[in-house]
Amino acid sequence: MSPPLKFFSQDFLQKLHQLTAEEGGLIAVNTIVDDAASRKKVVQALKSLPGGAKFCSGMREDLNEVFFVATGEFDRQALSKLEEAENRV
């Protein structure tokens, strides 16, 4: 798993979220997830963040997947475009 699961700790994710929440931003994390259990932990960690549009690239055939959290103005723009997206987290 890359980056290591500790990268998805609540403390670290909360800091990233706070940095982007006020004015809006996009958190993007490129991962290599080699098993379903690790992917589930990543998804659960991202879902625990308050608000924001959460989605992923869905490119799992190569084990490479990008996870996104859009906040603020990015959140509103992303939500309007992602209502029917299959890759919502």
> Does residue 20 form part of some domain?
yes
Residues with pLDDT less than 70, the chain: 59-60, 73-89
> Does residue 11 form part of some domain?
yes
pTM of the complete model: 0.79
> Does residue 89 form part of some domain?
no
What does the alpha-carbon distance between residue 18 and residue 28 come to, in Å, rounded to a whole number? 14
> Does residue 88 form part of some domain?
no
Helix (H) or strand (E) holding 12: helix 10-21
pLDDT of residue 42: 94
